[in-house]
């Protein structure tokens, strides 16, 4: 699935909607929880999607490379866990441990956050600046299943531009992935 850019709920420059979600580390998180971080890359993701599975090492690498420079990756899983039990909270904890996630991974069980952000697929990225204004929305890169075929690294480019006080070169790049599994 490719993200439909005609009906987006958030536009470039919009403020990040707040949330209050449980993390796989046993803590609850809101936007305020990340006050000390200059930039947020909120990525709607899940456990079972092959596009997320193909991108997870790149997502972890962005956290490793830019976390020290003030960026924070936040993964949010909003998928229906009844029809997709692989995406339930217990499995999220397992995935985060076994795959050594170095970023915050949150559960949006009632799907309100995905709805508020207008998320459509996994992985779908929203990058916010220090004022929590949207500066990038879209894909991780142009080959989410196979890193060796990626030619444009949109998420990395967006985070890098913000870290270095530059304009994000491409602000909207349609995300490619599995649809969010709505109830």
Q: How many domains does the chain have?
A: 1
Q: Are strands 172-173 and 39-44 parallel, antiparallel or unpaired?
A: unpaired
Q: What domain range is 48 assigned to?
A: 5-16+37-179
Beta-carbon-side half-sphere exposure of residue 103 (alpha carbons within 13 Å): 28
Q: Is residue 25 part of a domain?
A: no
Q: What is the pLDDT of residue 31?
A: 97
Q: Is residue 30 part of a domain?
A: no
Q: Is residue 22 part of a domain?
A: no
Q: How confident is the model at residue 1 (pLDDT cuts 50, 70, 90)?
A: confident
- Residue entry with tokens 């803590």: 27
Tokens of 84: 């997709």
Q: Is residue 102 part of a domain?
A: yes
Q: Mean pLDDT, to the nearest integer, of 27-31?
A: 98
Of 119, 158, 163, the residue nearest 136 (C-alpha): 158
pLDDT at 117 over 90: yes
pLDDT at 118 over 80: yes
Q: Mean pLDDT, to the nearest integer, of 13-36?
A: 97
Q: What is the pLDDT of residue 2?
A: 78
Check which CATH number belongs to the domain holding 10 and give it.
3.40.30.10
pLDDT at 3 over 80: no
C-alpha 116/C-alpha 114 separation (Å) is: 6
Of 142, 110, 121, 119, the residue nearest 22 (C-alpha): 110
Answer yes or no: are the C-beta atoms of 179 and 78 closer than 8 Å: no
Average pLDDT along the chain: 96
Phi and psi of 46, rounded to 5°?
-155, -175
Q: Which tens digits make up the pLDDT trace of 128-172?
A: 999 999 999 999 999 999 889 999 999 999 999 999 999 999 999
Q: Is residue 31 part of a domain?
A: no
Cα 146 to chain centroid distance, Å, stands at 18
Q: What is the pLDDT of residue 183?
A: 92
3 or 125: which carries more pLDDT confidence?
125
Q: Which tens digits make up the pLDDT trace of 50-107?
A: 999 999 999 999 999 999 999 999 999 999 999 999 999 999 999 999 999 999 999 9
């Amino acid at each position: 699935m490719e993200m439909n850019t005609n009906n987006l709920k958030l536009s470039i420059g919009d403020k990040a909607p707040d949330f209050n979600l449980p993390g796989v580390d046993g803590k609850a998180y809101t936007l305020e929880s990340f006050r000390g971080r200059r930039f947020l890359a909120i990525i709607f993701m899940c456990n079972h999607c092959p596009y997320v599975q193909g991108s997870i090492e790149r997502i972890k690498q962005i956290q490793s490379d830019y976390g020290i420079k003030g960026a924070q990756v936040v993964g949010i899983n909003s998928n229906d866990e009844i029809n997709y039990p692989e995406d339930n909270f217990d499995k999220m904890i397992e995935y985060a441990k076994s795959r050594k996630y170095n970023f915050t991974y949150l559960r949006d069980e009632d799907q309100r956050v995905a709805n508020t952000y207008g998320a459509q697929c996994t992985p779908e990225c929203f990058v916010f600046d220090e004022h929590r204004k949207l500066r990038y929305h879209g894909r991780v890169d142009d080959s989410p299943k196979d890193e060796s075929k990626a030619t444009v690294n949109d998420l990395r480019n967006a985070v890098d531009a913000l870290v270095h006080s530059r304009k994000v070169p491409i602000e909207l790049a349609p995300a490619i992935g599995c649809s969010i599994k709505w109830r």
